[in-house]
Chain A
Amino acid sequence: MKKYEMASVVFGVKFNFPFTEFFLKDYEYFGDKPCEFNIEIAQNDLEKERELTPEFEDDELENVAVFRKLCDKLLDKDIIMFHSSSIELDGQAYLFTAPSGTGKSTHSALWLKYFKGRARYVNDDKPFLKIDEKNVTVYGNPWTGKHGLGNNISANVKGICKLSQGKVNRIRRMGKGEMLLTLLDQTERPQTIEAMDKLLNLLGKLVERVSSYYLECDISNEAVEVSYNAMAKGELN
């Protein structure tokens, strides 16, 4: 059993494969705080994952099983996974979400290039969001997507933006109801009624606390300027 810290939560993981240890290494915790929970993967957890992704080797199955169990446990701590590319700029975080293949990572990459040295990835694929009474904070974790882009950092979430491909660059505010549907679409849905209620309750708080936007964009500096001006400065075109 090794100790890890993600989203300010310390927990233990008992793993069977070296891949899991390697994968989690940047988040290992060496402090004195006790574990809030432990994650242990049994053979039947691997079999459940194998049904979903039969092409995976056992060590990859263990990795996704750890992530699934972690998401379940973190829900109790008011933390959710939100499928998005998240970046930090000047101390604030901006999250881009869209169905896979739309280009959220591409848009994030444009931000990093445009704000050279000022911006960095929190997590390019599956960051954790902690929703507390006043703020929403995004945290890095090792599940950073196929390009492996992410850092063990956190930042206050300033805006969430849903992307679609377009011929012009334009942005508008999204309503709370519209945002709620987007969030439900891009998060891991729990199985039990209790956990689903908890998730819905957290998403309800999230849409009250964070501004959300809908961006149509191409791949250009102008796309960055349009999304940055709206989300960071409140200027809608």
Chain B
Amino acid sequence: MKIKEGFILRQIADSNLVVPVGQMAKQFNGVIKLNESGVFMWKKLVDGIDLDGLVNALTSEYDVDEATARKDAEAFTNALIQAQIVE
């Protein structure tokens, strides 16, 4: 899975925001607000990673068991798939 071209992640006034630019702004007119682990997962997905890879990355970065990490990673990626932000 990989985040499509045309999104930028920026930290503004303590908020982590993802906004679409260029052509992408015509398809997706929203803003995504991410928490800390969301930023972590987003950055992994910008480079491209599969679900298992994301779960591994989460368990090595955070003090979290595999089942919880998988649940979080699935919820996060499902939301991105739903919004057609990943390919």
Binding site for B on A (CB under 8 A): 176-177, 180-181, 184-185, 189-193, 196-197, 200-201, 203-204, 207-208
Contacts and interface: CB of A to CB of B under 8 A. Distances in A.
Majority SS of interface residues in chain A?
Answer: helix
Contacts of B31: 181, 184-185
Contacts of A185: 31
Given A177-B13, A189-B25, A193-B21, 13 more contacts: A180-B12, A180-B13, A180-B15, A181-B15, A181-B17, A184-B17, A185-B31, A191-B21, A191-B22, A200-B10, A201-B12, A204-B12, A204-B13
A42 B68 CA distance: 56
Interface of B: 8, 10, 12-15, 17, 19, 21-22, 25, 29, 31, 33
A185 B13 CA distance: 16
Contacts of A197: 8, 10
7 contacts: A181-B33, A184-B17, A191-B22, A191-B25, A192-B22, A200-B19, A204-B13
B22 A184 contact: no
Contacts of A193: 8, 21-22
A56 B14 CA distance: 41
Contact of A208 (B13, B22, B25, B29): B13
Contacts of B13: 176-177, 180, 203-204, 207-208
A97 to B, nearest CB: 15
Contacts, number: 47
B8 A180 contact: no
A188 to B, nearest CB: 11
Given A184-B31, A189-B25, A196 B14 contact: no
B56 to A, nearest CB: 30
B35 to A, nearest CB: 11
A37 B14 CA distance: 35
A189 B19 contact: yes
Given A184-B31, A193-B8, A200 B17 contact: yes
Contacts of B21: 190-193, 196
Contact of A176 (B10, B14, B22, B25): B14
B12 A196 contact: no
A196 to B, nearest CB: 5
A189 B15 CA distance: 18
Contacts of A190: 21
B41 to A, nearest CB: 19
A89 to B, nearest CB: 27
Identify which of B12, B17, B22 gathers the most chain A CB atoms within 10 Å of its CB: B12
Contacts of B8: 193, 196-197
Contacts of A201: 12
Contacts of B33: 177, 181
